[in-house]
Amino acid sequence: MSKHFILGLALGSFLIGCVSATFTYSWYYPEFVSYEGKLLGQKPSDDLDAKICQKDVSGNHGCVVMLKPEFKALTLDYMDCQDHLRQCEGK
Domain with 71 in it: 26-89
Do the domain assignments include residue 57?
yes
Residue 2 neighbours by CB distance under 10 Å: 7
Do the domain assignments include residue 52?
yes
pTM over 0.85: no
Average pLDDT (81-86) is: 90
Note the helical H segments in the chain: 3-19, 68-89
Do the domain assignments include residue 12?
no
Q: Is the pLDDT of residue 52 over 70?
A: yes
Q: What is the pLDDT of residue 23?
A: 77
Do the domain assignments include residue 18?
no
Do the domain assignments include residue 21?
no
Do the domain assignments include residue 53?
yes
Q: What is the pLDDT of residues 13-51, one digit of tens each?
A: 665 555 556 778 888 888 888 899 999 999 999 999 999
Domain count within the chain: 1
